[in-house]
């Protein structure tokens, strides 16, 4: 079997540079980790493309929450695709559902036209859809190259049997990329069917920030922020994945 590709979602510059340095094959560049990923800045992409030599796929998601977007939000997504494409994005990651949890084919077609010939991933909006098998077939027809999924569950560990079924049903028509709390120990199980081509894993680690002063009475949101820690990428975890991929 050929080597399985390792993609890492990265939410800051440190994590992106470390992932590239430690041997990750592709980056999924996002902003806003607490929301599960949003569209990153143009400056971040442009700088990163000058620093790394691996592909950088860019998340296109204008806000957190659900995946039902207004017409004006879709226009923002289209313009982000055009701008970030001009700055060197190697691929894009997005997904749109309708009010009933079905894949919004018209909206996806519009965004895919804006992308042109660059590869696209339908992200975990797939997991939020009302019928995974129906969504699978629609996403294949639309022309996406891959689906990022935890099997419709909170984590890959919970959705493992569903992902195994999706790998079999997709066959070689589209890449099913497992992600969402992925651990190296999951990989041998997923490889058994012979259809696993890519894996999505953050390999993240919390590191102490050099920040020396914390205003204990200050919070910028309803959720207290930890100014003492920053997320990076753990080389040991990357090596664990590469050993089994």
Domains for the chain: give ranges and CATH numbers: 5-244 (3.20.20.380)
Measured CA to CA, the distance from residue 104 to residue 145 in angstroms comes to: 17
Asked if 57 contacts 10 with a C-beta cutoff of 8 angstroms, the reply is: no
- For 97-148, the pLDDT digits (tens) are 999 999 999 999 999 999 999 999 999 999 999 999 999 999 999 999 999 9
CB count within 10 Å of CB 174 equals 22
pLDDT of 224 = 65
Angle between helices 105-115 and 71-86 (to 10 degrees): 20
- For 61-74, the pLDDT digits (tens) are 999 999 999 999 99
pLDDT of 104 = 98
- Only one residue has tokens 């959720």, namely 223
pLDDT band at 157 (very low <50, low <70, confident <90, very high): very high
Measured CA to CA, the distance from residue 103 to residue 121 in angstroms comes to: 14
Residue 178 DSSP SS3: strand
Q: What mean pLDDT comes out for the span 8-30?
A: 97
pLDDT of 234 = 94
Asked if 120 contacts 93 with a C-beta cutoff of 8 angstroms, the reply is: yes
Cβ neighbours for 220, distance < 8 A, ≥ 6 positions apart: none
Which range of 89-98, 207-216, 224-233 scores highest in mean pLDDT? It is 89-98
pLDDT band at 93 (very low <50, low <70, confident <90, very high): very high
Angle between helices 71-86 and 42-51 (to 10 degrees): 30
Asked if 80 contacts 45 with a C-beta cutoff of 8 angstroms, the reply is: no
For residues 227 and 204, the model is more confident at 204
Classify residue 12 as left (phi > 0), alpha (psi -120 to 50) or beta: beta
For residues 10 and 231, the model is more confident at 10
Measured CA to CA, the distance from residue 203 to residue 190 in angstroms comes to: 18
pLDDT at 82 over 60: yes
Length of the chain: 245
Instruction: Work out the end-to-end distance of the chain between its first and last CA atoms, rounded to an integer number of angstroms.
Output: 10
Measured CA to CA, the distance from residue 60 to residue 205 in angstroms comes to: 24
pLDDT band at 229 (very low <50, low <70, confident <90, very high): confident
pLDDT of 2 = 74
pLDDT above 70 as % of the chain: 98
pLDDT of 225 = 62
**Of 185, 184, 182, nearest in space to 159 by CA:** 182
Instruction: Look over the chain and give the mean of its residue pLDDT values, rounded to a whole number.
Output: 94
């Amino acid at each position: 079997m050929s080597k399985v590709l390792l993609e890492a979602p990265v939410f800051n510059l440190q994590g992106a540079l470390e992932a590239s340095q430690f041997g990750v094959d592709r980056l999924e560049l996002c902003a806003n980790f607490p929301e599960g990923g949003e569209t990153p800045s143009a400056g971040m992409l442009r700088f990163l493309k000058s620093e790394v030599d691996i592909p950088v796929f860019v998340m296109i998601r204008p806000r957190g929450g659900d995946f039902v977007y207004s017409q004006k939000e879709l226009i923002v997504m289209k313009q982000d695709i055009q701008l970030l494409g001009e700055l060197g994005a190697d691929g894009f990651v997005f997904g749109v559902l309708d009010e009933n949890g079905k894949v919004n084919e018209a909206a996806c077609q519009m965004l895919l036209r804006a992308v042109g010939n660059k590869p696209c991933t339908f992200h975990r909006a797939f997991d939020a859809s009302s019928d995974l098998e129906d969504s699978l077939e629609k996403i294949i027809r639309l022309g996406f190259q891959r689906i990022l999924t935890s099997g419709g569950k909170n984590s890959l560990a919970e959705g493992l049997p569903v992902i195994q079924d999706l790998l079999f049903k997709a066959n070689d028509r589209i890449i099913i990329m497992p992600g969402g709390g992925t651990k190296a120990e999951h990989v041998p199980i997923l490889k058994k069917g012979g259809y696993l081509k890519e894996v999505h894993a953050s390999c993240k680690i919390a590191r102490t920030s050099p920040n020396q002063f914390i205003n204990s009475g200050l919070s910028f949101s309803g959720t207290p922020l930890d100014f003492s820690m920053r997320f990076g990428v753990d080389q040991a975890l990357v090596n664990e994945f590469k050993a089994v991929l």
